[in-house]
A and B are shown apart, each in its own frame.
Chain A
Amino acid sequence: MQSEEKKYPETDKKGDKDDKGKKIEIDYKKLAEKYLDSWKRCQADFENFKKDQAKTREEFAKYAKMDVIEQILPVLDNFEVSLEHIPEKEKDSAWVAGITHIKRQIEDVLKNNNVEEIVVKIGDKFDPEIHEAVVGKGEKVKKILQKGYRMNGRIMRAVRVEVA
């Protein structure tokens, strides 16, 4: 059985008060200084908090979209797969062309939000900074299974690859 001691700071009993209640002498000057100091610290904390908040807001604005866009990525993946499966006789139809344009629209949305595809070539050296191995053993990228994306320089999704 384990127990943990909690050490809470003792309140400073020196100076201000005598516990036995004999004589209570309060050094008001010291007390005032102490309070002024606490007040200043509090004000400084608040100022620092404000600065910190401003920084956080900036970061937030930059990456807040990331979550939503991450959820759109699988939609784009499936769009791409669907286009790989266009039935032969439909290939040149205007309808298929329209669908291809919709896909381009999605890609535009990503581009306008600073999302870029991570470019990988077959035979590239496996790099866990940008690749995620799904299957295989080895050092080289053998097949790209799912595209990866970067937003404002930060990896949103690594490229899923087969290695060999």
Chain B
Amino acid sequence: MPKILGIDLGTTNSAMAVVEAGSPKIVENKEGARTTPSMVAISKSNERLVGLLAKRQAVTNPENTLFSIKRLIGRRFEDEEVQRDIKLMPYKIEKSNGGVKVKMGDKSYTPQEISAMILQKLKADAEAKLGETITEAVITVPAYFDDSQRKATKEAGEIAGLTVKRIINEPTAAALAYGFDKKKNEKIAVYDLGGGTFDISILEVGDDTVEVKSTHGDTHLGGDDFDQKIISWILDEFKKDQGIDLSKDSLALQRIKEAAEKAKVELSTAMETEINQPFITSDASGPKHMVMKLTRAKLEELVGDLVEKTLGPCKYALEDAKLSTSDINEVVMVGGMTRMPLVMQTVEKFFAKLPNATVNPDEVVALGAAIQGGVLSGDVKDVLLLDVTPLTVGIETLGGVRTALINRNTTVPTSKSQVFSTAADNQPSVEIHVLQGEREMAVDNKTLGRFMLDGIPPSPRGVPQIEVSFDIDANGILSVKAKDKATGKEQSIRIEASTGLSKEEVEKMAKDAEAHAEEDKKKKEAVEARNLADTLVYTTEKALREAGEKISADKKKPVEEKIEALKKLKDSDDIAAIKKATEELSQEAQKIGQELYQAAQAADKAKAGEKTEEKPPSTEATEGKKDDVKEGEVVDDKDEEKK
């Protein structure tokens, strides 16, 4: 089935995506980039250049390099926007049949012809990348585009050889990418702060429509303004410091521009960054270096007013939709600038709601367009919508530790089994305590159910093999089964409401886990250290017992001392001491092992000399080994009480 290309035809950058195996993915262009500059040029040698190539030569050929054509598409010459651009743009804008044309080389083109050149490149690159012909597309436009602008965009697609299956609104596409189109009667605010424009749209999801209730924005506010503020600050600081004005030095300026962008990106995660540009210039006294610190606080001070400026349109949009912030169910972030923590915080404060920002904000619109394309082509039809488990499920094991069987976000149906064992000698039964949650310790998770498997034949700890299987079916129903491999005896439980948690509950649990991650890790480490100590004491004592007279008392003594020392420490909270004592005992015990081994070898040799037909001793050893027994043992009742 031919794919429908989803295209985000942006003012400064464009992106494209397709649905593959039910989910949308960005298609890279020929240059290997995920976005393509929305630029077209005719070189002096009459070659048409689109995208990055057009951008690279823009400086030397400004009058024949067209950008921000989206501001002109479908507009009338008299429009305020067009008149403003005539003053701003280095290329020539002409009147033509009431509409506009732009000059490039010695020819004039309509904005749709120019947009078509961008679309043509996207189409060709997508075809090369996907290895199939693309004939159909879904193209996004701003929500405020009127009929003539939409029509012109559609024409652009058709000139490029694409059948435009649908023109959809950018905010709607973003909501689609988050799957919010299924949220009936919800109201969604889409906050889009891109490279050059800011848009806020209020959407209402109806039965099978997504309606744009209102939209506002600022067509000349975006990331470029933010960069400019940082660049000015750097230039000022350098001038103050070194007395040199770099604003006329084009290479230095280029380097500063990149440094400013890098600093901006870094300050989204770090609190402070260094702008380090050695040898930025030189004067009579020698080379000059630019080394300055920029803190997040300073950056926020520089661009704070720009962020504030976006709130005005937000208020108007709500007023137009006759809604208040409390009516908004979801806020969606679009555009690279929304990665800035200050923007996130400001929006969160304004709407009193945590904005959605999990989908890459540069790509979310193209992805949404691809989803719409997938729906139209019926691609989504045959693909089963599969759920994921919202939370990890597992069982409680020795020492109150939660052992995960199926991790969160695993696509269902799925099943997983693991072999466990007993924690004590002659333990007759194991309790399977089924848990749900993200915390490391059993008590901090939610109990989904518990059951006993009894009738385990008396045997030393660690020997029985209890296979625990988890199965989650397509409806999210969890079945847990425990089976004693020796007797074939089994018990099971079915838990229907394993996913009956609201989104908020799930989020809270995930957040809790994150908040407690460090302390949980320590607790788990402590239990593991204790378990290890316990096991070592047990096995060493057993070995000593079994060795009996084979080991002389003076060899036994140091081991027994170490055992006693570890036993005393075992239940204390001093994890480091437990670990140390365990290590010491382990070393001492190894000496015994060595001795036993040597003795056994000597005995074998003697035996082998007598009876050659006897089975080699190594076979016996491996037979006894239980290779597939996993560490971590199912708790027994005693251990439950001990906690």
Contacts and interface: CB of A to CB of B under 8 A. Distances in A.
Contacts of B210: 3-4, 6
B603 interface: no
Contacts of B286: 85
Interface in B187-211: 206, 208-211
Contacts of A82: 278-279, 287
Contacts of A93: none
Interface residues of B, number: 47
Interface stretch (A15-23, A112-120, A130-138): A130-138
Q: Is the interface of A mostly helix, strand, loop or mixed?
A: mixed
Interface string B278-295: 110010001100000000
Nearest to A139: B44
B60 A85 contact: no
Nearest to B254: A134
Contact of A135 (B45, B143, B250, B382): B250
Contact of B31 (A1, A49, A155): A155
Contacts of B143: 2
A128 B56 contact: yes
Contacts of A128: 43, 49, 53-54, 56-57
Given A6-B208, A78-B279, A128-B49, A133 B56 contact: yes
A31 interface: no
A98 interface: no
A1 B211 contact: yes
B258 to A, nearest CB: 8
A138 B45 CA distance: 11
A46 B129 CA distance: 20
Nearest to A5: B209
Interface stretch (B306-314, B372-380, B443-451, B568-576): B372-380
A154 interface: yes
A82 B282 CA distance: 11
A129 B58 CA distance: 13
B296 interface: no
A4 B209 contact: yes
A41 interface: yes
Given A133-B56, A134-B59, A136-B59, A8 B211 contact: no
Contact of B169 (A4, A8, A41): A4
B381 A85 contact: no
Interface in A60-115: 63, 78, 81-82, 85
A134 B250 contact: yes
A137 B43 CA distance: 12
A124 interface: no
> Among the interface residues A85, A128, A134, which one has the most CB atoms of the partner chain B within 10 A?
A128
B207 to A, nearest CB: 10
Contacts of B166: 4
Contacts of A129: 53
Contacts of A162: 250
A129 B30 CA distance: 12
A163 B213 CA distance: 51
B211 A3 contact: yes
A8 B31 CA distance: 35
A101 to B, nearest CB: 19
A133 B21 CA distance: 42
Task: Name, among A38, A132, A136, the residue most crowded by chain B CB atoms within 10 Å (CB to CB).
Answer: A132
B251 A134 contact: yes
Contacts of B172: 4
Interface in B231-285: 250-251, 254, 277-279, 282
A43 to B, nearest CB: 12
B21 A49 contact: yes
A1 B32 contact: no
A160 interface: yes
Interface string B18-40: 00110000000001100000000
B279 A8 contact: no
A3 B175 CA distance: 13
Interface in B203-230: 206, 208-214
Contact of B282 (A1, A5, A38, A85): A85
Contacts of B44: 139
B168 interface: yes
Which of A4, A8, A163 has the most chain B CB within a 10 Å cutoff?
Answer: A4
Contact of B208 (A8, A137, A160): A8
B363 interface: no
Contacts of A138: 60
B251 A145 contact: yes
Interface in B77-113: none
B278 A81 contact: yes
Contacts of B372: 6
Contact of B60 (A8, A45, A133, A158): A133
B279 A81 contact: yes
A2 B251 contact: no
Nearest to A41: B382
B181 interface: yes
Contacts of A3: 206, 209-212
Contact of B382 (A7, A38, A137): A38
Nearest to A78: B278
B255 to A, nearest CB: 8
Contacts of B208: 5-8
Given A78-B279, A128-B53, A8 B382 contact: no
Contacts of B279: 78, 81-82, 85
A2 B166 CA distance: 13
Contacts of B382: 38, 41
Contacts of A131: 56-57
A42 B413 CA distance: 14
B319 to A, nearest CB: 15
A11 B209 CA distance: 18
A126 interface: yes
B31 A133 contact: no
Given A8-B208, A9-B381, A82-B278, A2 B32 contact: no
Contacts of A163: 60
Contacts of A63: 32
B172 to A, nearest CB: 6
Nearest to B57: A128
Contacts of A81: 278-279, 287
B21 A135 contact: no
Contacts of B49: 128
Given A82-B279, A128-B54, A138-B60, A2 B169 contact: yes
A8 B379 CA distance: 11
Given A8-B380, A135-B59, 9 more contacts: A3-B209, A4-B168, A8-B375, A81-B287, A82-B287, A85-B279, A128-B43, A133-B61, A163-B60
Q: Nearest 10 A-B pairs (CB), nearest first?
A: A135-B250, A133-B60, A81-B279, A9-B381, A128-B53, A132-B56, A3-B211, A128-B57, A128-B56, A133-B59
Interface of B: 20-21, 31-32, 43-45, 49, 53-54, 56-61, 143, 166, 168-169, 172, 181, 206, 208-214, 250-251, 254, 277-279, 282, 286-287, 372, 375-376, 378, 380-382, 384
16 contacts: A1-B211, A1-B213, A2-B169, A3-B210, A4-B168, A4-B172, A6-B208, A6-B375, A42-B384, A45-B21, A48-B21, A78-B277, A132-B57, A133-B61, A139-B44, A139-B45
